[in-house]
Structure 1
Amino acid sequence: MPLRIVTADERLSAAANKTTMALFGPSGVGKTTLVKTLPHETTLCVDLEAGMKSVQDWPGDSIPIRCFEDAIDLACLIGGVNPAADPNGYFSAAHHQHLVAAHPDLVRLLAGKSIVFLDSITDLTRQAMAWAKTRPEAFSDRTGKPDTRGAYGLMAREVIGLLKHLQHAPGKSLIMVGILERVTDDLGRVSWQPQMEGGKAGRELPGIVDQVVSMALFSRDAQGAPVHDPERGTERRLVCRTANSFGLPAKDRSGRLDETEPPDLAALLRKINLAPRS
């Protein structure tokens, strides 16, 4: 692969055109409906959980994915060729060429999309785990019996590899939706964690993406400030900063977001990718 210098102007242009985001929220908070806040002409919804009922009137395009092998193929078409891939492996030139020849209509569709809305990463890890359990790495070399640790390790590697490949998709923003679950430890302390199969993929995900956002329900105090109120809150907000006062997962590499933002992904992307002042 030839080495090349990326100029500051090129880097700024690329940054203004794509963002990778992980968006987590409790079940039923309305994560999927956020796709309606994105431009439908240029947004593709990758439906991994058969959860389009709440947005059945959304006029955009969606692709249902029911197995991990299909998720890998779609990621290859979206992200293109990985020059570092095994020549006979996933995301290689041979893999990509085969898919381009087999799915010309899909190639034309993807060419007009600049945003990929993946719903959900929780279900992606579940599909990946089901796939991993069938692979040779999921069985003990000594006894031939199932090896759970081997399956979890393989699942994590392949999911992270798929997400990193999507991260490098030229000119496409990636928004990955996932479930946020409330966890109470033995001392009664409450924390909020992304719900994913295994722990490795969940730990590595924040380092892959530009932004981590939590969607939650809020009420207002006497001064009008938002108060995290998951039981009785009626106002949906996006929590965007790492050091937030609500203890929710978040990260903002852009440095342009407030602690909370309105539940509008198009507005959020515009704010993140605001052109720098000259």
Structure 2
Amino acid sequence: MSLPIITADQRLAEPRGIKGCIFGKSGIGKTSLLWTLDPARTLFIDLEAGDLAIEGWPGDSIRPRTWAECRDFAVFIGGPNPALRDEQPYSPAHHAAVCQKFGDPAALDRYDTIFVDSITVAGRLCFQWCKGQPEALSEKTGKPDVRGAYGLHGREMIAWLTHLQHTRGRNVWFVGILDEKFDDFNRRIFQPQIDGSKTGLELPGIVDEVITMAELKADGGDPYRAFVCHTINPWGFPAKDRSGRLGPVEEPHLGRLMEKIRAPGTPAPRRLTFTPLADGAADHPLPQS
């Protein structure tokens, strides 16, 4: 057996899906982004039962109602993880059981994009399930242990997201609500609305793209919706672009956004540059919003 090296040509020829999250305040139009995708190639995972905004959209959907169903659909979409033991979720044994239940995974071959609405509700289903597990009970008293439930919730959510992230051949997009809060110093901050803190903190390191769908306003102009895509932005929105192809602000069209991410990018030597600050600029940091 030779060393399983993947050559550059093989790696570049592999189908590569885009994994990302889109956060925004309630009512900004996150679910309506389905209208910008090809309905014949998109599977809508409807966790919120809030599909009034896409009434008439001709695509397929599934409606998980429990965390167990969310895990089953994840392993059915992403395949088994050979590193896991048979009793663990997402293992080969779990995948085999789900295939026996749902049928041949080839039925999903016609979908190249999975649209999950929303990660906020997925977190709630996960936490509800976690509260009924042995880890959520105190070993001494047998009473509910909230810390144990939150710890299990964080591990479950990260495992679920990581498994879907490794679905190499498909695009997977999660949408979620973005909360606006104020910290102890009365500074405005934005946080994804997900139960517990672990998922929100680790999520940007898992997915390729973190996009905030926000309402912006030009000087003296009318407000408009836009995608904020860069980590460094004047509004403090959570954002990240692993592709290096997106501008700081993009039009709120998910289909065209993915086309731009797949387009030939700027060569790395030109893109990965550092522009030093002008003399004295370091002494005058930018104001916080």
Q: Normalized against structure 2, the TM-score is what?
A: 0.88
Query: Structure 2: which amino acid aligns with 1:253?
Result: R
Distance 2:87 2:241 in 1: 37
Query: Structure 1: which amino acid aligns with 2:8?
Result: A
- What's 2:62 paired with? 63
Residues 140-179 of structure 1 deviation map (CA, whole Å, 9 limit, x = unaligned): 1111111101000101101110110011113011101010
Q: Tell me the matched-pair count.
A: 266
- What's 1:229 paired with? none
Please show how residues 195-214 of structure 1 align to structure 2 within 5 Å: 195-214=193-212
Tell me whether 207-216 or 163-172 shows the greater mean CA deviation. Answer: 163-172
SS at 2:212 equivalent:
strand
Query: Structure 1: which amino acid aligns with 2:230?
Result: R
- What's 2:235 paired with? 246
Distance 1:167 1:108 in 2: 19
SS at 1:164 equivalent:
helix
Contact between 1:17 and 1:273, CA under 8 Å: does it hold in 2? Answer: no
Residues 198-238 of structure 1 deviation map (CA, whole Å, 9 limit, x = unaligned): 0011100000011100001122215x7xxxxxxxx641100
Q: Which runs of 5+ in 2 are unaligned?
A: 268-289
TM-fit CA distance, 1:186: 4.0
Counterpart check, 1:161 vs 2:159: yes
SS at 1:9 equivalent:
helix
Distance 1:155 1:93 in 2: 23
SS at 2:77 equivalent:
helix
Contact between 1:42 and 1:115, CA under 8 Å: does it hold in 2? Answer: yes
- What's 1:230 paired with? none
Contact between 2:17 and 2:167, CA under 8 Å: does it hold in 1? Answer: no
TM-fit CA distance, 1:108: 4.2
User: How has the CA–CA distance of structure 1 residues 277 and 122 changed in structure 2, closer, same or farther, with 3 Å as cutoff?
Assistant: closer
- What's 1:5 paired with? 5
- What's 1:263 paired with? 252
Distance 1:89 1:182 in 2: 37
SS at 1:236 equivalent:
strand
Q: Normalized against structure 1, the TM-score is what?
A: 0.91
Deviating 4+ runs (over 6 angstroms): none
Query: Structure 2: which amino acid aligns with 1:249?
Result: P
Distance 1:173 1:33 in 2: 17
Q: What is the aligned-residue identity percentage?
A: 46
Contact between 2:16 and 2:168, CA under 8 Å: does it hold in 1? Answer: no
